[in-house]
Amino acid sequence: MYVCLCNGISDKIIRQVVRQHHPQTFRQLCKLIPLGNQCGKCVRAAREVMHDEMLHTSEFKETA
């Protein structure tokens, strides 16, 4: 599913970046992939995908 239509970012890309780079904040995620820098409509959905992936990633479970 596309989360950011302006930049063509899907939920799969967000999940992959979270697993590989382990950003702790949404701002850190935005430094890795272009999110929210055009119309901004993707921010809420991107945060939800990031949070969901963080909950399902075992490395984040251990630190949480």
pLDDT at 23: 95
pLDDT tens-digit map of 23-38: 999 999 999 999 998 8
The Cα 64–Cα 48 span in angstroms is: 17
Domains of the chain: residue spans and CATH: 2-63 (1.10.10.1100)
Q: pTM value?
A: 0.86
In this prediction, residue 11 carries a pLDDT of 97
Instruction: Determine phi and psi for 27, rounding to 5 degrees.
Output: -60, -40
Q: Is the pLDDT of residue 64 over 70?
A: no
Residue 58: which pLDDT band, with cuts at 50, 70 and 90?
Answer: low
Q: Is 32 exposed, middle or buried (0-12, 13-18, 19+ CB in 10 A)?
A: middle
